[in-house]
Amino acid sequence: MKTNVFNQIVSIPKTFLDNGIRSTMPWELRKRILRLNLFLLFAMAVAFTSLVFSYVNQLFVSSMVHLFAVFLVTMGFFLNKDGKLAASKIVGILTINLHLLVISHLEGLRSGTYMLIFPLLFTLVFVIDIRKSYWQITLTGILTLANTIFIFLITPYENALQKIPKELYSSLFNTNLCISLTLTAIFAFIILKTMDNHEMKILEEKNLSETIYDTSLDAVFIVHASSGMVTGCNSRALEVFGYDDKTPIINKPAAELLGENVSEHIGLFNAHAEEERLAWDGNMELIKQSDIPFHAYVNIVPFHHEQQLYCKISILDITDIKVAEFETIRAKEKAEKATLVKSRFLSMMSHELRTPLNGIIGTTNLLLQDEILESQKPYMDVLKHSSEHMLNLVNEILDFSKLEAGKMILENNQFNLRHFLQKAAQPFKNSGNGRVRLIFDIDESLDKEIVSDELRLNQVLNNLLSNACKFTEDGQIVIRAKHESSDGQNLRVTFSVSDTGIGIAPQYIRQIFESFTQADAETTRKFGGTGLGLAISRHIVEKMGGELMVKSILGEGSEFHFTINLRISKNRRALLQPEKENVLIALTGLRILIAEDNPVNLIVVRRFMQKWGIRTDEAANGLELLELYHRNEQYDLLLIDLEMPEMDGAQAVAEIRKTNTYIPIIAFTAAVYDNIQADLMQKGFNDFIPKPFKPEVLHRKIRQLTAYSAIERVKYV
């Protein structure tokens, strides 16, 4: 109970002190309001004490004056509560001065009321911020001084305005003296305590700033802007620049220590000192005391102190970062160079491998089309299969290099999805020597024209079917295409290839999609392969927006599946019936000029054209090609190898296009690189045939381009 009463008593002055103060206010404003509340509390205490004393001694006129003073001070409290700080301050100062003037004149100098001026002077320290309000302290000081002088000039020693007994003057004087001394002592103590707290706060802030200053990772210099002299630095600055103490740094020109660039920026700040300048930052090369250069990130911030302009210069040593950047750039350049060398090597190897393969595969196809002994057919089939397998290996390595370099770009072709799936599975119909059945499970609703990359989708299915055939000795292989959904613009389809082969052990499921990896060494030895097929297929499916996944049970079989969105084509096209193998129509009457430096490739392509009824002329290089062409310009088409001695194919075509822009020209090349079609078109070719070539593809392109040639000839006649 006693504690509650005490807390309530203590809360009364605290309520007065917190008058007008809100938690959201800045600390500086709260401090000013607190000082004003102390001042008003002092004025109220003096007026109220005097009121009680006057009333007890039956000095009713003085009591009325004291009561009016209490009223005015209370009004000042309410003004402060409403946020009218300046008005409250004016009311308080005027009330105290007017109160002292009136009561001194009313009671006379003999009463000693004038002595209350001394604690008033102490309280003014709380009311006015001397550092920011010179005019306020000046006006208040003048008012208080004038009031004091006026009191002593006009106030009589004793006044007859109210009756004061002679013996009461002694009590009045002693009371006023006591109040004056008590209040002076109290406010002197408060002022000293405040100054001590202020000094402690300054020391704490100084210690905090010095701690931050000296523990900063940046080297910090303080430079006087007008003189350009260094006036201070932190410990990190000594470490960075190699000094033992601050003596050689202080009062040293910044230009000498930090270089002319820093000095120029300081000079710019000094030249525009009156303007509000933003900080500057950037990279510079500075020099340590030992003449060792280093890279630095420099930040220069201008500030004012004691009406002088200074610059704080923060320096961060970024030499290690620059070295790391340089090493990264070098490593990147080295990697790019290695990638370029690898690409060139692969391109060269592609050309060198494809050229003999073209001869092998072409010759094999010619022999298979001719009449051969029945006993020779198995050997010819082995030769055909082995050469095509070699071509697949070369293609896989080239595709993988494209994927590594991120240069595989999907194209958009229009094709019928159902017919595409039937055609993709066609080569695998007779696999397994009759012990493996190939089953189609394709939704009837997939008989639609779609737009996608036909070649890459075929490559994925070819890889999956090839693996299924390779690892399945008995049973069945099922190729499925399931229509999942459609929104009128896109078709969502799930493709899967399942088999009843050897299956995959759970611990190998993850690694089969990695490059150059198969399930285990035994698989590689038994079945062969590069281990790139699934890795390439996974990347292609991901580029198409799907994910290639597998479900497998060891000894029972595997299922590979993926789901992708395919854009539905708005256009319908007539489906051409594929020409049956070995039944290509004759192209009798056509005359073609062939430029090829490899005699085997020349023999192969010439033999096919002779079978189709085409007359041919041959050249071994670009110069011979131009000579034959200009001697007889009645050719229907030119088939030109890109890589030839004396003059290459591109140079020869450039010469021909100067005089003839309509004759169809096909590039015959073993080179494989990005955007080959667009590049060759730009060089003047109409199309290209990659080596090794498929006879039916060459036949089709000759038919298409010579029909185009005939139309163009009519135009130019």
**Which of 35, 42, 99, 96 has its CA nearest to residue 65?**
99
| Whether residues 161 and 221 fall in one domain | no
Residue at 416 is within a domain: yes
Place 685 in a pLDDT band, splitting at 50, 70 and 90. Answer: very high
- 142-151, 610-619, 683-692: lowest mean pLDDT where? 142-151
| Whether residues 59 and 86 fall in one domain | yes
Residue at 333 is within a domain: no
DSSP letter at 277 equals P
Residue at 584 is within a domain: no
Residues 210-237 as b/e (b if ≥16 CB within 10 A, e otherwise) read eeebeeeebbbbbbbbeebbbbbbbebb
Place 209 in a pLDDT band, splitting at 50, 70 and 90. Answer: low
**Which of 493, 512, 621 has its CA nearest to residue 566?**
493
Distance of alpha carbon 441 from alpha carbon 478, whole angstroms: 7
Distance of alpha carbon 420 from alpha carbon 566, whole angstroms: 13
How confident is the model at residue 493, as a pLDDT? Answer: 93
Percent of the chain with pLDDT over 90: 9
List the structure tokens of 227. 């003189």
How confident is the model at residue 563, as a pLDDT? Answer: 94
Place 124 in a pLDDT band, splitting at 50, 70 and 90. Answer: low
Of 200, 234, 265, which residue is a domain's last? 200
Residue at 256 is within a domain: yes
Of 153, 173, 200, which residue is a domain's last? 200
Of 168, 200, 232, which residue is a domain's last? 200
| Whether residues 192 and 230 fall in one domain | no
pLDDT tens readout for residues 550-561: 998 888 889 999
Three-class secondary structure assignment of 387-405 = HHHHHHHHHHHHHHHHHHH
- 27-31, 170-174, 441-445: lowest mean pLDDT where? 27-31
Place 444 in a pLDDT band, splitting at 50, 70 and 90. Answer: confident
Distance of alpha carbon 562 from alpha carbon 498, whole angstroms: 12
pLDDT tens readout for residues 302-346: 888 877 888 989 999 888 888 888 888 888 888 778 767 766 666
Residue at 353 is within a domain: no
Q: How far is CA 68 from CA 62, 71, 102, 112, 551, in A?
A: 10, 5, 11, 20, 99
- Which residue bears the tokens 């069945």? 476
| Whether residues 29 and 177 fall in one domain | yes
Distance of alpha carbon 197 from alpha carbon 705, whole angstroms: 99
For 228, the domain range is 216-317
What total of structural domains would you count in the chain?
A: 4
What average pLDDT does the segment 515-537 reach? 55
DSSP 248-275: TTTT-BHHHHH-HHHHHHHHHHHHTTTS
598, 359 contact by CB (below 8 A) = yes
| Whether residues 113 and 259 fall in one domain | no
| Whether residues 183 and 256 fall in one domain | no
Judge whether residue 287 has pLDDT over 60. Answer: yes
Residue at 656 is within a domain: yes
| Whether residues 189 and 41 fall in one domain | yes
DSSP 552-583: EETTTEEEEEEEEEEEEPS---PPPPPPPTT-
Strand partners, 219: 315
453, 413 contact by CB (below 8 A) = yes
How confident is the model at residue 37, as a pLDDT? Answer: 74
pLDDT tens readout for residues 596-632: 888 888 888 888 888 889 999 999 898 998 999 988 7
How confident is the model at residue 714, as a pLDDT? Answer: 40
451, 414 contact by CB (below 8 A) = yes
- 182-191, 447-456, 547-556, 708-717: lowest mean pLDDT where? 708-717
Three-class secondary structure assignment of 23-51 = CCCCHHHHHHHHHHHHHHHHHHHHHHHHH
Distance of alpha carbon 664 from alpha carbon 384, whole angstroms: 31
Amino acid code (one letter) for 559: E
Amino acid code (one letter) for 139: L
How confident is the model at residue 528, as a pLDDT? Answer: 43
Residue at 181 is within a domain: yes
How confident is the model at residue 445, as a pLDDT? Answer: 85
- Which residue bears the tokens 């050689």? 248
DSSP 345-385: HHHHHHHHHHHHHHHHHHHHHHHHHS---TTTHHHHHHHHH
List the structure tokens of 365. 């196809």
Task: Please give the residue that has the higher pLDDT: either 194 or 656.
Answer: 656
Strands (E), 325-435: 413-416
Amino acid code (one letter) for 659: T
| Whether residues 154 and 263 fall in one domain | no
Q: What's the CATH number where 276 sits?
A: 3.30.450.20
Place 360 in a pLDDT band, splitting at 50, 70 and 90. Answer: confident
Residue 498 parent element (H or E): strand 490-499
Q: What's the CATH number where 679 sits?
A: 3.40.50.2300
pLDDT tens readout for residues 254-281: 888 888 888 888 888 877 766 666 788 8
Q: How far is CA 276 from CA 223, 270, 280, 311, in A?
A: 18, 11, 13, 13
pLDDT tens readout for residues 27-79: 667 777 777 777 777 777 777 877 887 788 788 887 888 888 888 888 877 88
- Which residue bears the tokens 């590069």? 530
Task: Please give the residue that has the higher pLDDT: either 409 or 247.
Answer: 247
| Whether residues 104 and 24 fall in one domain | yes
Residue at 630 is within a domain: yes
Q: What's the CATH number where 543 sits?
A: 3.30.565.10
| Whether residues 57 and 196 fall in one domain | yes
pLDDT tens readout for residues 489-515: 888 999 999 998 888 888 777 777 775
Distance of alpha carbon 629 from alpha carbon 512, whole angstroms: 54
602, 594 contact by CB (below 8 A) = yes
140, 124 contact by CB (below 8 A) = yes
pTM over the 0.75 mark: no
| Whether residues 36 and 176 fall in one domain | yes
How confident is the model at residue 470, as a pLDDT? Answer: 83
| Whether residues 115 and 250 fall in one domain | no
What average pLDDT does the segment 637-654 reach? 90
